[in-house]
Amino acid sequence: MPVYEYRAYDVAGSVVTGIIDAGTPKEARTKLRRQNIFVTKVEEAREGVSLTAEVRVSKLVRRVRRQDIVVMTRQLATLIRSGMPLLQALTAISEQLEGYPMQRVVYGVREHVNAGEPLADALEQHPRLFNDLYVNMVRAGEAAGALEAILGRLANYLEAAHRQRSKVVASMIYPALMLVVGTGVLVFLMTFVVPRLSQIFDEMGRDLPVLTRVLISISHFFGSWRFAVLLVVLIAAIIVIRVNTRRGRGRYLLDRLRLRIPVAGGLLRKLAVARFARTLGTLLTGGIPVLRSLDIVQSVVGNAVMAQAVGEARERIGEGASMSDELRKSQEFPPIVVHMVAVGEASGSLEEMLLNIAETYDTEVEIATNKLISLLEPLMIVIMGVLVGFIVLSVLLPIFEMNRFAQ
């Protein structure tokens, strides 16, 4: 059913705006009149466009965030657990989301459910927001009659994944800011300050120190057409590399290279293992069959090398092999993970063991991130210090010589 934006007056004469679902604009006007709302304008909301003035403004600055999905999932689980029917719960959430981009999504899901579709099928209409893991968990919950429990587990999973990602991103903000500011300062010095100083030195008519001549040559290069060509070539090379490494063999080789980077490679592997364990544990806890769970894990693990290892293990497990043996053969998973999976298989508590692995590796990711930052910060400071010191020394040496000759 279409969704319409409206502008109207209420019984007090105040201007009100909002959205309403109806088959036609005439039906929308009729519904609003029954609510003592007098319409001045009604039009169908376009797909992908926010539905109120406030939403249109927020749409310009952001789309639906991960946190919006987490909150929606948690609220839906709470409402259903309290005994509220699904359709009414979706209506309540959509009203709660007034002024947020997520409102449009919830309205669409509610209309599909109102038309008789299962919630999982309705969510499947928005693949960018609700991935295979989410949809399959909801479908399993509906089939088992335990939708509220599954939504609660999904919310826990999404919160843990969001928390892990937020910690890594927050840890990288300071080094990234230092890099941007340092690069900006160097570009300013090389393109504006040094060329003016070089003119002064040229007017002196004296031989300049080697460091000063090197600095001036570098500055001239920055201001020449050769630098512009080099910049264009670098940008084109980056674009070509990104296009060729999005999927297939190129993505595999790039991810393999990432895993071999000192320090950072270990962090990336820990992140992939944590995501693998948390996703698989959540799916198995939700009642998803192991082979289907591994299919989903393969698509969300985030690293092509690890994904290939999971895919190969999945094929062998389908033939009757144990998961721990296949993970060991891949040589991509740490030995402790393999042993914990083996214990979980033997004791019949694989789901719990996987979630324990995820918690353990979340902690290790945080520790490894802090170590990486502790290495990056002084390294960047030293590099920036050396570069700025080189520029300052190159500028001061001719001045010192001028003073010496003046005496």
pLDDT tens digits, 210-244 = 888 888 888 888 777 887 888 899 999 988 888 88
Residue ranges of the alpha helices (H) in 97-127? 102-114, 119-123
User: Rounded to the nearest 10 degrees, how much is the dihedral formed by the CA atoms of 293, 295, 297, 299?
Assistant: -150
Task: State how far the Cα of 242 lies from the Cα of 250, in Å rounded to an integer.
Answer: 9
The answer to whether 154 and 134 are in contact (CB under 8 A) is: yes
Task: State how far the Cα of 327 lies from the Cα of 369, in Å rounded to an integer.
Answer: 25
The size of the chain, in residues, is 407
Q: What average pLDDT is seen over the chain?
A: 81
60-159 and 170-407 share one CATH topology?
A: yes
3-state secondary structure of 243: helix
Task: State how far the Cα of 192 lies from the Cα of 188, in Å rounded to an integer.
Answer: 6
Residue 375 confidence (pLDDT): 81
The answer to whether 337 and 277 are in contact (CB under 8 A) is: yes
- Assign 35 a pLDDT band (cuts: 50, 70, 90): confident
Burial 349-387 (b: 16+ CB within 10 A, else e): ebbebbbebbebbbebbbebbeebeeebeeeeeeebeee
Q: Which helix (H) or strand (E) holds 319?
A: none
Residue 55 confidence (pLDDT): 38
Share of the chain above pLDDT 70, in %: 89
For residue 139, is pLDDT > 60?
Answer: yes
Per-residue pLDDT reduced to its tens digit, 105-130: 888 888 888 888 888 888 888 888 88
Q: Which option is the CATH number for 170-407: 2.40.30.10, 3.10.20.30, 1.10.10.10, 1.20.81.30?
A: 1.20.81.30
Sequence-distant (6+) residues with CB within 8 A of 154 are: 73, 77, 134, 137, 138, 282, 286
Which carries the bigger pLDDT value, residue 19 or residue 29?
A: 29
The answer to whether 209 and 398 are in contact (CB under 8 A) is: yes
3-state secondary structure of 44: strand
3-state secondary structure of 200: helix
| CATH code that applies to domain 60-159 | 1.20.81.30
Task: State how far the Cα of 130 lies from the Cα of 312, in Å rounded to an integer.
Answer: 26
For residue 57, is pLDDT > 70?
Answer: no
Per-residue pLDDT reduced to its tens digit, 315-371: 999 888 889 999 999 888 999 999 999 999 898 888 889 989 988 888 888 888 888
Residue 61 confidence (pLDDT): 40
Strands of the sheet containing 38-44, edge to edge, are: 15-21, 3-9, 38-44
Per-residue pLDDT reduced to its tens digit, 236-294: 998 888 888 777 788 888 888 888 888 788 888 888 898 899 888 888 888 888 888 88
Q: Where are the chain's structural domains?
A: 3-45, 60-159, 170-407
